[in-house]
Structure 1
Amino acid sequence: MTQNANRQNADRTALVLGATGGIGGEVVRGLQARGWAVRALHRDPGRAAAPAGGIRWITGDAMNARDVAAAAEGAQLVVHAVNPPGYRRWAELVLPMIDNTIAAAVSSGARILLPGTVYNYGRDVMPLIGEDAPQNPFTNKGRIRAEMERRLKHAADAGGKVLIVRAGDYFGPRSGNNWFSQVLAKGEGPLRRITYPGRRGVGHQWAYLPDVAETMMRLVEREQVLGAFASFHMAGHWDADGTAMIAAIRRAVGRPDLPVSSLPWAMMALAAPFVPLFRELGEMRYLWREPVRLDGARLAALGIEAHTPLDAAVRETLAGRAASSSRAAASAQAATFASVAESGTPPK
């Protein structure tokens, strides 16, 4: 990014909804690196875990249309990277939030940037899914995501501007809310075991979050060639049989014999009536039992997809995991000392 381009972007403003999340945080960094002014909406900015400095925090709720519209006023880009936590309450929250984003972006003349998912598609277009493939989802979350994109397409047809960038399962050094961090390499301290959710021999697609954000930024910079409604698929990292990611993790930690266990799907199914998260994850099990691959033909033609080699991406991700564990330990220690100082009782 040249200084000239940074100066040109200095007058450009982006509103990021979901700035404290994995993809939202990476997009914030990408925008700031290019000289954009960044706003972020949060119900309690004082408690927000900021992905970077220099953000203008605005108090508000993505479920409140007036809050979103006020935050988006004068913006050229609205990044819709907000999701209900833990897969919960999708049916009641997801569509009202995208409606608020659409209304705010149309009012300000901004382009909407949406990180897309593979949930939208049905088995009729698997295993290799093109950008123009029909969306016939068979899960509840898939139907909701497909309806989101239908509303975005309608907004674009009515004069709005939309950019969707779809990728595989996220992983990265600053994100903990994904399959990699919560299942494959879960826990704190030295990694002692890999838990793999998929069937051996079944392909799976991964996307390194810094690459996803960088690719989004490269597309945003090509505003003049995007058109009103633009949709792109990232190739990311295709693990053809489920062993490439396991091998990369083993190389990163220097343990070629690091044990691998399977995710106890059957036990999760038994607990699903009592644990809502297990119920929601179970709906996505098919993504680990069947190969689902995005065809990134459009990005390949443009030659602008960012791609960090798998080993480097995994090393950075695990380094981020270690740093996060250290911060958690330091925070716990600080809390202990604070408690001791208040009570005058030594820790046991």
Structure 2
Amino acid sequence: MTKNRIALVVGATGGIGGAVARALVDRGWTVRGLNRQPEAAARKPGGEGIEWVKGDAMNAEDVIAAAKGASIVFHGANPPGYRNWQGLALPMLESTIAAAKAAGARIVFPGTIYNFGPDALPSVDEQSPQRPTTRKGKIRVAMEKRLRETAAAGTPVLIVRAGDFFGPVAGNNWFGAGIVKAGKPVTRISYPGRPEVGHDWAYLPDLAETFLRLIERADELAPFEVFHFRGHYFDRGIAIAEAVRTAIGRPDMKIGRFPWFAIYLAAPFVEMFRELIEVRYLWTERLELDNRKLVRFLGAEPHTPLIEALTEALRGMGCMPVALPRPVGTGLAVR
């Protein structure tokens, strides 16, 4: 059990960082959020209850000061808008490493599926080879290598890896860009992948709860520990879009194709689109995260029923219709 209940969350305005920060607050932790504009961050949805500290994740001295007295430093920072991963991702992580070392804290890090190339698919566990073929994947592998080195030098590290995510306050994500449009009632549903290819999704409150249960048992963890979070896996990837129809009470709504052609056309001019294209293979190949290690350790993986999770996510995103018809059926293939 962690006795010192002070945590610094780097990236607390993001999807995963924000969900973990709110879960920590709900558990009675003192949570600091690092942000260049703390007053604005405090006004954002989910920003309440967090002690906002002015600072830049690229500035190690800022992060070290914010982490003073903390037992946990959660690193949820990502380059904004998928831009300049090469120039930002590793330097921001180095700031977190310096801060955790100075505070004597454990680094908690959300892993991604970008680490895995096609050779590791379809079922991926903690020992699967990390041989990505993309620039972003290679950067993520380098980040985890750096964290392993950090743990070997005496600063403990916990990594929980999850797939694409959705939630009531989720920031930028595939669900709010590739399936529905955040900020308005759903009038159109699309799906970015091959309909019959399996895909893994994480509901952010469940993922955050998983982080918290592991943090609360930190004394039982190895210096460098990695767990995989399965979440909601769909044998038929398009089943999540079908479930959205159920959640909004529109089982007859057509599911359209994601406009990849437009992404390719605009890619020469938009860096974010080039990054999306690079990881498109994750929408054409089956990937299922194996969570058996996590289940053995915790006894069970936190899991909100799908329609309940989607309803809360869509409501938080401002996507639920004003008058919600009664749901009809599910049509799901989830296991």
TM-score after normalising by structure 2: 0.91
Cross-structure match for 1:186: 181
More displaced, 143-152 or 52-61? 52-61
- Amino acid in the other structure paired with 1:245: I
Q: d(CA) in 2 for partners of 1:295 and 1:104?
A: 32
1:36 aligned onto 2:29: yes
Q: Give 2:70's match in structure 1, choosing from 58, 68, 75.
A: 75
Q: Please say if residues 19 and 50 of structure 1, whose CA atoms lie closer than 8 Å, have aligned partners that are also in contact.
A: no
Q: d(CA) in 1 for partners of 2:310 and 2:46?
A: 20
SS at match of 1:322: coil
Matches for 1:214-233 after TM superposition, within 5 Å: 214-233=209-228
Unaligned runs of at least 5 residues, structure 1:
327-348
Q: Quick one: higher RCO (CA 8 Å, sep 6+), 1 or 2? A: 2
Matches for 1:32-71 after TM superposition, within 5 Å: 32-48=25-41, 49=44, 51-71=46-66
1:284 aligned onto 2:291: no
TM-score after normalising by structure 1: 0.88
Q: CA deviation at 1:243?
A: 3.0
Matches for 1:1-348 after TM superposition, within 5 Å: 11-48=4-41, 49=44, 51-302=46-297, 303-322=299-318
Q: CA deviation at 1:294?
A: 0.9
Unaligned runs of at least 5 residues, structure 2:
323-335
More displaced, 239-248 or 89-98? 239-248
Q: d(CA) in 1 for partners of 2:320 and 2:100?
A: 35
SS at match of 1:305: coil
- Amino acid in the other structure paired with 1:219: L
SS at match of 2:113: coil
- Amino acid in the other structure paired with 1:59: K
Structure 1 segments, 4+ long, off by >6 Å, are 323-326
More displaced, 140-149 or 257-266? 257-266
- Amino acid in the other structure paired with 1:203: G
Question: Structure 1, residues 258-283: CA drift from partner, whole Å, max 9, x if none?
Answer: 11111121231121001222111111
Question: Structure 1, residues 182-205: CA drift from partner, whole Å, max 9, x if none?
Answer: 120115432111111001211110
SS at match of 1:195: strand
Q: Residue 85 and residue 205 in structure 1: after superposition, are their counterparts in 2 closer, same or farther (change >3 A)?
A: same
Q: d(CA) in 2 for partners of 1:12 and 1:64?
A: 24
Q: d(CA) in 1 for partners of 2:197 and 2:161?
A: 21
Q: Please say if residues 13 and 37 of structure 1, whose CA atoms lie closer than 8 Å, have aligned partners that are also in contact.
A: yes
Q: Percent identity?
A: 54
- Amino acid in the other structure paired with 1:243: I
Rg: which structure is higher? 1
More displaced, 317-326 or 20-29? 317-326
Q: d(CA) in 1 for partners of 2:321 and 2:39?
A: 23
Question: Structure 1, residues 205-239: CA drift from partner, whole Å, max 9, x if none?
Answer: 00000000000000000111111001000111111
Q: Please say if residues 45 and 169 of structure 2, whose CA atoms lie closer than 8 Å, have aligned partners that are also in contact.
A: no
Equivalent residue pairs, number:
319
Q: CA deviation at 1:176?
A: 3.5
Q: d(CA) in 1 for partners of 2:320 and 2:186?
A: 13
- Kindly report the root-mean-square deviation, in angstroms, between the aligned alpha carbons of the 2 structures: 1.7
